[in-house]
Structure 1
């Protein structure tokens, strides 16, 4: 029997995106699939892997879709879908804007992986004029209903199910859980305690708060504790804030790192921060960064979004602080800096819950089985 073949497509996400490349594609490759991954490689400053560099993986470079510059990406992806789609058993889409890109093209069974609340996220797009946000939210709802009729959907969060008429497979944003990570509060090579933030960086994700936390933490500990920020900045204002804070020595910002390297930065940290604001797109979602902090046995400081509260309270692995409360965040970090053993105890509690409930090693089998069933289904 010849290997099953899947075409995975994104014009928005980084080619090293954790959910796409390091969970789903990695699981399919391990199961013997042939994967064609069409993504904006050079648009994100990454060289596509050459033929044979990753067994079973073929890379196609697409134009990146960003801000108001989206039409070139649409033309490019329609070309690739026409040329490559019929050669595969399944097409897996990872961006909402790819749903209308499939119209009028003859494709095999097509799957849309719904990463977020498509309507709510319109309000987070600073490049969308205010007068267009209402119409775009309505259009997003229409697009979702049309996609449900034409495609198979998988959902990144169970709370997204209420937006759809039918039941759909939920593939949550869990993460590989290391068996025995180092204890939280382990000093780095310079003898410092590291506090980490892992994820995309925007105003709504708490960049202003992170900058102030970094400054106050560094000052209060005379540099013995440092805030390490890992992730891509979105928008010039966000980038400028982070660059200024780094020049001032208030934090260390590495930008985007591939998932395996980014997750390595969590090991031994004193704590992980999730200072998301109270916006509609975040309320129903399980914050992936919180899952990753628990998996790597570090305690969490999070704002009171419902799913984060549930994880922190059930695991007993951290503290909930009010939205935009920098002082309370720094106060808790200083307490753990004075008593790293207490942070390590909390981290171990979180790790126990993560191994029980949040391990991608469990959910990956469900995902691969679902893709196999779709690939083998009669057309």
Structure 2
């Protein structure tokens, strides 16, 4: 298939988009064009995909990114079998685009990959005025209902089904477990992997690092929101913790191996209550114990598999004590690591599920192609005086990708 993947919000090296979904499609022999904010994020497209550079949608500054995305969809969409969208913002670029595609007789299967509870996430966005949040939540729900009528949907969590009237396939956020035996968890460092913000516990991490230093080192991997960057940079300069900044998934995961524990300190926010933090699965897959706040899906996972400890929300002292307990109790640490790794390999391993994701897109593309092929055959048997535009046989190759 020819697949156009588009995001203006996510990092181009996003683990779900690039390292799971695009990788699975490439492994199945499909051709990818990836439109993402490469320059804005300071990265270049991978060699095995054609990259198109887009502006980044951040804060209230989203208009330029949506205009650019609309242009890419209009120009490159008709040549695709599948268009895979990763941001709710991109739904705003679709109404006119879908009409143009259909008028031209080359409408690709359009899929929205639902990463989060968008309406709940609005409450956490400081750039959205409080007075605008209720009408925006209503607008989001309306957009979701319209998307359900006109697009195919993939959900990252089973709990997202409640937002929609029909049942949609779930492609969960899993991890790729390292092959072979993993390094046993040591006792000298703990790690955090993921986006850093107040609601994700960035300031709690800094407090923990001060409480644990110098006996246990805190290593932090991930990009940070503007309002916590200064505090993280200062803690790194002071030697209290080590902040690696953003690292792609294939560079970040090896740093987890051998750590004492992996941290997930999410606050109690509506958007987190029915989402399973991917970092928790990644810690389990890499064979290290988990220390997590009691977000329901993370706590259920840790308690069911006895692969770590659950601590109260916004309580760095309690999280520190949990780390110290794992540090001093070698048996507990090794058992938690072994159980988490076993569960990740058995039930939470992305390579075992990747084929289902690829098959879904292939099936949808075949279903959409069937009526079109039938109509084309009829036109071949009974030539019409009217000329009908058809889909190009491959992605346009004469237009060079924008360098990032």
The residue correspondences of 1:128-167 to structure 2 (distance < 5 A) are 128-167=128-167
Match of 1:194 in 2: 189
1:77 alignment partner in structure 2: 69
What do residues 258-279 of structure 1 show as CA deviations (whole Å, max 9, x unaligned)?
A: 0111111111110001110000
Query: Who is 1:126 aligned against?
Result: 126
What is residue 224 of structure 2 aligned with on the other side?
A: 233
The answer to whether structure 1 residue 68 and structure 2 residue 63 are counterparts is no
Q: Distance in 2 between matches of 1:180 and 1:307?
A: 28
Following the alignment from structure 1 to structure 2, what is the Cα–Cα distance between the partners of residues 294 and 341? 17
Q: 2:311 aligns with which of 303, 315, 321?
A: 321
Q: CA RMSD in A?
A: 1.2
Partner of 1:190: none
> In terms of Rg, which structure is larger?
2
Separation of aligned partners in 1, 2:183 and 2:308: 14
Q: Is the 8 A contact 1:181 1:267 kept in 2?
A: no
Q: 5 Å matches for 1:148-297?
A: 148-186=148-186, 193-218=188-213, 223-235=214-226, 237-297=227-287
Distance (Å, rounded) in 2 between the aligned partners of 1:208 and 1:114:
28
Aligned counterpart for 1:91 among listed residues 83, 86, 90: 83
Which residue in 1 is equivalent to 2:26?
29
1:181-202 C-alpha deviation (Å, 9 max, x unpaired): 4344337xxxxx2200001011
SS at match of 2:272: coil
- CA–CA distance in 1 between the matches of 2:53 and 2:231? 31
Q: CA deviation at 1:171?
A: 0.0
The structural deviation recorded for 1:333 is 1.1
2:265–2:293 CA contact under 8 A, matched in 1: yes
Check whether the contact 2:2–2:32 (CA below 8 A) recurs between aligned residues: yes
Map Cα deviations across residues 232-272 of structure 1 (whole Å, 9 max, x no partner): 1012x210111111112111101110011111111111000
How far apart are the structure 1 equivalents of 2:222 and 2:141? 30
Q: Which has the higher helix share?
A: 2
Instruction: Report the Cα offset of residue 341 of structure 1.
Output: 4.6
What SS does the aligned partner of 2:33 have?
A: strand
Range that drifts further, 331-340 or 250-259: 331-340
CA deviations over 1:136-189 (Å, ceiling 9, x no partner): 1111100100100010000000000010000101000001112434344337xx
Q: How do residues 109-124 of structure 1 correspond to structure 2 at under 5 angstroms? A: 109-124=109-124
1:24-58, Cα deviation, whole Å (9 max, x unpaired):
00000000000000000001011234xxx32xx21
Match of 1:42 among 31, 35, 39: 39
Shift of 1:134: 0.9
The whole-number CA distance in structure 1 between the counterparts of 2:94 and 2:144 is 14
Alpha-carbon separation, structure 1, partners of 2:196 and 2:143: 27
Kindly tell me the number of residue pairs found equivalent between the two proteins: 361
Note the 1:345-356 alignment, pairs <5 A. Answer: 345-356=335-346
In structure 2, C-alpha distance between the alignment counterparts of 1:303 and 1:87, rounded to whole Å: 46
Name the TM-score, length of structure 1 as normaliser.
0.93
TM-score, structure 2 as length reference: 0.87
Q: Which runs of 5+ in 1 are unaligned?
A: 188-192
Q: Distance in 1 between matches of 2:147 and 2:258?
A: 43
SS in structure 2 at match of 1:127: coil
Partner SS state of residue 165, structure 2 = coil
- Asked if the contact 1:181–1:296 (Cα under 8 Å) also holds between the matched residues in 2, the reply is no
Cα distance in structure 1, aligned partners of 2:268 and 2:2 = 41
CA contact (8 A) 2:185 2:257 kept: no
- Residue 370 of structure 1 is matched in structure 2 by 360
